[in-house]
Amino acid sequence: MLRVGVTGGIGSGKSTVSRRLAELGAHVVDADAVAREVVEPGEPTLQRIRERFGEGTVRGDGTLDRAALAAIVFPDRDALDALDAITGPAIAARVAQRRREAPGDGVSVYDMPLLVERGLWVHEHLAVVVGADVETRVRRLVDQRGLGEDDARHRIAAQATDAQRRAVADVLLDNSGTPDELVEAVDALWHERLRPYAVNLANAARTRRPDLAADVVVEPRADWEARAERVVARLAAALGATHVVTEVSHVGSTSVPGLLAKDVIDVQVGVRRLEDADRDDVRAAFADAGYVFTHGNHHDTPHPGGADPADWAKRFLGGCDPGNHVHVHVREKDSPGWRFALLFRDWLRHVPAERDAYGQEKRRLLGLHTTTSGYVEAKEPWFEGAWLRAAAWAERTGWSPR
């Protein structure tokens, strides 16, 4: 089941996005609706709110006085945090129950205003952020919801900033235009990314780039680091409970600013013992995060030439997201392959002349090879010399992996 978190600042239009996704076939759980359910009369959560914020937060008929509660918590950060501590666990439990009702091969959408603030985005395969500028949102809240302007601005200020949301957004939907434009964008997202992603997950099929070097190797992209940071955070969250992972790191060419590369995010997962990667719980954690083990790719090329291939063993996984191609290399901590992945990245980051030389070699080989597989194989002789120069740099500078 593909998990998609939909969020956005109050007045951004995220509910419109979620409604359209439901019309297209997604199973939608609305956090606001669940939040209303858990504070209905008779719910223990309502009693805890009464005890913390006073009798004035409950009407004579026993229902929550939302306006009175909002007047207390939105201007006061500590009060808002206290309310979240009361309602959060109850909402989370009910949301989990509802999401388990979604079909295993479907798309589960979590419409959640505080997806960023609570760090819940790391448990979603994709985070969709609906955006609109502050003044547009204030106008909508005043005109469509009847809020006072000061109240609207207090509520906006109490939430995550636009920059914080953009940092976790796998998809950013701009809702500054017309409703029809937003619906068109949601439809395109559904057909081009969400449904294919869900199908890949159901079939345990990783995405693959075409074997055409000219189409795959691209100039440096500004979004590589942000994409990698989200992958790293999600894998760390998914694998944490297994207690076998030592670190998750962005490696490979996309981790070196200014270097052309295949538009693929390479991530290294360090484990205490390589055999740990074969445990059922570890494999299940990778699968739940959207990564598929691949057979036939269990070793890196040993360096220097003649080194024992057994020391360069690894496990390899590919991601299922058609909108973000990811390769995951699982290596034993302190093994030669694990160390070289980190050394190669740091060496190229700190020695621009070597980065540029590698870029020139890539361009030369791209002119000689039409397929990605041929291009990758042709780089190996260069890597042998690079390993020696990188090792010398590490010795000279006192570099050690962190």
Look up residue 43 and give its amino acid.
E
Which residue, among 279, 248, 281, has the nearest Cα to 265 in the 3D structure?
A: 248
Helix residue spans in 66-212 (DSSP H): 66-73, 77-99, 134-145, 149-157, 162-168, 179-189, 195-203
CA-to-CA distance for 192 and 74, rounded, in angstroms?
A: 39
CA-to-CA distance for 353 and 51, rounded, in angstroms?
A: 65
Residue 373 known to bind ligand: no
Look up residue 312 and give its amino acid.
W
Does residue 209 fall inside a structural domain? no
pLDDT at 177: 86
Query: Which string of DSSP letters, residue by residue, matches 1-37?
Result: -EEEEEEE-TTS-HHHHHHHHHHHT-EEEEHHHHHHH
Q: Are residues 195 and 228 in the same domain?
A: no
pLDDT at 209: 81
Q: Are residues 89 and 17 in the same domain?
A: yes
CA-to-CA distance for 218 and 352, rounded, in angstroms?
A: 19
Residue 385 known to bind ligand: no
Does residue 286 fall inside a structural domain? yes
CATH code of the domain containing 160: 3.40.50.300
CA-to-CA distance for 234 and 240, rounded, in angstroms?
A: 10
**SS3 (DSSP) at 252:** coil
Q: Are residues 18 and 47 in the same domain?
A: yes
Helix residue spans in 27-105 (DSSP H): 31-37, 44-53, 66-73, 77-99
Q: Using the 3D structure, point to which of 203, 229, 253 is the last residue of a domain.
A: 203
pLDDT at 62: 94
Q: Using the 3D structure, point to which of 140, 168, 203 is the last residue of a domain.
A: 203
Tokens of 90: 């109850």
125 by Cβ neighbours in 10 Å (0-12 / 13-18 / 19+) ranks as: buried
CA-to-CA distance for 71 and 34, rounded, in angstroms?
A: 21
Could you tell me if 161 and 12 are in contact, meaning their C-beta atoms sit under 8 angstroms apart?
A: no
**SS3 (DSSP) at 55:** helix
Q: Are residues 246 and 175 in the same domain?
A: no
Does residue 143 fall inside a structural domain? yes
CATH code of the domain containing 303: 3.30.460.10
Residue 11 known to bind ligand: yes
Average pLDDT per consecutive 10 residues, the chain (402 residues; last block may be shorter):
94 91 97 93 95 94 94 92 92 92 92 92 97 86 88 87 93 91 97 97 92 80 97 98 97 97 96 97 97 90 90 97 97 97 98 96 89 88 94 97 83
Residue 14 known to bind ligand: yes
Query: What does pTM read for this prediction?
Result: 0.89
pLDDT at 104: 85
How many of the other CB atoms lie within 10 Å of CB of 241?
11
Local structure of residue 345 (DSSP, 8 states): H
Could you tell me if 26 and 109 are in contact, meaning their C-beta atoms sit under 8 angstroms apart?
A: yes
Give the domain range for residue 179: 2-203
Q: Using the 3D structure, point to which of 148, 178, 203 is the last residue of a domain.
A: 203
Residue 15 known to bind ligand: yes
pLDDT at 369: 86
220 by Cβ neighbours in 10 Å (0-12 / 13-18 / 19+) ranks as: middle
Q: Are residues 126 and 233 in the same domain?
A: no
Tokens of 193: 């990314």
Residues listed for the chain: 402
Q: Are residues 199 and 235 in the same domain?
A: no
End-to-end CA distance of the chain: 35
Q: Are residues 146 and 218 in the same domain?
A: no
Does residue 305 fall inside a structural domain? yes
CA-to-CA distance for 296 and 176, rounded, in angstroms?
A: 48
Residue 178 known to bind ligand: no
CA-to-CA distance for 383 and 15, rounded, in angstroms?
A: 51
